[in-house]
Amino acid sequence: VIAPLVCFGILVTVSIVVASRFQLEDKDDSMLPSSSNLAKANEWSDNLFPAMGASMINIHFIWGLAGMDRSHLNPSDPDNKGLVLFDPHFDLARDQEALLAFCDHIDTHPRFTPWIKHTNNDCLMDVFKTWREANGLAFPVHETYFQSAMEAFIEADVSGHVRHHLGRSNTGGGFYYVEHIVASSIPPGTHGKAVEDDYAFWDAHAREINSQGNFSAPVIQTCILWKDMARLNSLARTAVLGMICSLSFATACMLVVTQEWRLTLFATMTIASIVASLVAGYVIMGRKLGFMESVNLAIVSGLAVDYTLHIAHVYQHSPLKTRFGRTQEALRVIGISILAAAATTLLASSMLFACYIKMSQAFGATIFVSIALSLVYALGLFVPLLLEFGPIPAGGVEEEEALQEVPITGGLMQMSRESLASSFGGSFFKPSAPGDSPRKGTTLALVGQALAVVAALTLAAVILFFASDPAR
């Protein structure tokens, strides 16, 4: 019995090492297969037409915003996004030269070269200065005349491009905010973890500007990709929290059902090993943590608990006094039900591999692999743990005398043909001779059949999975 424990210990250790390399996705994962027309159109838009303005990723520096008031936000109303709060200390007239220096610094300093796409970013104050000088007017404008001067400049802007960089009152009450846009060097289609370095650079620069105190109000930097990065980080935390909560809840349920701390400990170890192996499978398949994986990982512990809990429950309530007898009784009573449940679930989930939507495919793959691992670990890890360290009732046999009569072959218990025949309705594994002992017979019969079913269904599912999208 020690041999399978060592083998599964090595397997779990390798799974944990591989699972530790699970990373956030670095590109937007389409819900449609790569062979679909919409996925091809998105790829062409991102990669074949890089000169298009829509393909540029812009960093927005905004002065004058103080945040959002969401105290009266209605979560059920998608149009209610909260109330924008403006900084009352913002004064664009005082910030004329500071804003111009900010633009020149980004365009000319070599440390920004790797992070920007080009150096001719439109700067509101630079355009304002050029317009003033072309009309023979001085720059900077005195604070007394700045409001009227800027209004004249905006009226002269036929294209209307300038006014989009300013927030102003319709009643002539001044300007609420000003914005400067920097075209970054982030490649189109970049997503998630891949933009963390860019975020860190621009956020550090914004903090540096605020520490200098050259502006009347602090600057806020933002980008459309930061939202996706924050969403993925939130999904990662949600996935981890979901696995911890579901595993904790499963442990509590097992403790209530079995009322035995050793059974609960072994079952929890088995379920945690299943989760680690599933995450390792994600890494091996090249998947990264995105929306689909985060949702799927939250339900893994619930899928993984069934077979282990059933075996533990029957083992705990068995009237027999030896570990071997109680384990044999558990498999005799619940073995056929576990195999039938696994076979039907595996077959049903494999149908999702043929779906066109990738989220359905991923959900089906998660269920399939979780059930397959649950069956393998329940029979291959949890059962040997019961044979070697399982609890026995008062007056039970500590040294398993029954095991001395039956050789342990291949690292797993030799189940009696008589027990298997009873478990499967008497149609399988009949004794080979009338004089055979009920404790002698087929080695690894139940486990072998279970693994054979899993292997066959897995092979069929993998073929169907890759056949549904040749791009894989």
pLDDT score at 373: 92
pLDDT score of 209: 93
| pLDDT of amino acid 397 | 55
- Measured between alpha carbons, how far is 223 from 267 in angstroms, rounded to an integer? 46
Q: With pLDDT > 70 as the criterion, what percentage of the chain qualifies?
A: 75
Q: Which of 327, 332, 333 is nearest to 315 (CA)?
A: 327
Name the H helices within 48-184: 96-108, 124-134, 146-156
Residues 62/49, Cβ–Cβ less than 8 Å: no
Residue 59 has pLDDT above 80, yes or no: yes
Percent share of the chain, pLDDT over 90: 16
Q: Are 12 and 276 in contact (CB under 8 A)?
A: yes
**Position 183 confidence tier, pLDDT thresholds 50, 70, 90:** confident
253 is written with which tokens? Answer: 């349920």
pLDDT at 472: 47
Lowest mean pLDDT among 109-113, 118-122, 259-263, 276-280: 118-122
Tokens of 447: 């486990």
Which of 319, 321, 325, 334 is closest to 403 using CA atoms?
325
Mean pLDDT computed over 76-91? 84
Helix (H) or strand (E) holding 7: helix 2-19
pLDDT for 304 beyond 70: yes
CA-wise closest residue to 61 among 207, 189, 159, 169: 207
pLDDT > 70? residue 432? no
Those residues with Cβ within 8 angstroms of residue 229's Cβ, 6 or more apart along the chain or in another chain: 192, 193, 195, 196, 199
Q: How far apart are CA 155 and CA 145, in angstroms?
A: 16
User: Exposure pattern of 167-178 as b/e (b: 16+ CB <10 Å)?
Assistant: bbeeeeeebbbb
Is residue 367 over pLDDT 50?
Answer: yes
Mean pLDDT for 259-277 is 89
DSSP 234: H
- Of 155-159, 172-176, 440-444, least confident by mean pLDDT is 440-444
Tell me the pLDDT band of 291, cut-offs 50, 70 and 90: confident
Query: Does residue 239 register a pLDDT over 60?
Result: yes
Given a cut of 80, is residue 252 above it in pLDDT? yes
Q: In this predicted model, what pLDDT tens digit does every residue of 60-74 receive, in sequence order?
A: 999 999 888 888 777
CB atoms within 10 A of CB 82: 13
| Bridge partner list, 15 | none
Please give the distance of CA 383 from its chain centroid, rounded to a whole number.
Answer: 31
Q: Name residue, tokens 């699970």.
A: 22
pLDDT band at 37 (very low <50, low <70, confident <90, very high): confident
Kindly report, residue by residue over 368-400, the tens digit of the pLDDT.
Answer: 989 999 999 999 899 989 888 888 876 655 544
Helix (H) or strand (E) holding 310: helix 300-316
Phi, psi of 187 (to 5 degrees): -65, 145
- State the chain's mean pLDDT as an integer: 77
Q: Which two tokens stand for residue 166?
A: 């300013």
DSSP 172: S
Q: Who wins on pLDDT, 250 or 461?
A: 250
33-42, 172-181, 327-336, 391-400: lowest mean pLDDT where? Answer: 391-400
| Rounded distance between C-alpha atoms, residue 47 and residue 41, angstroms | 10
Token pair in block for residue 466: 């890759």
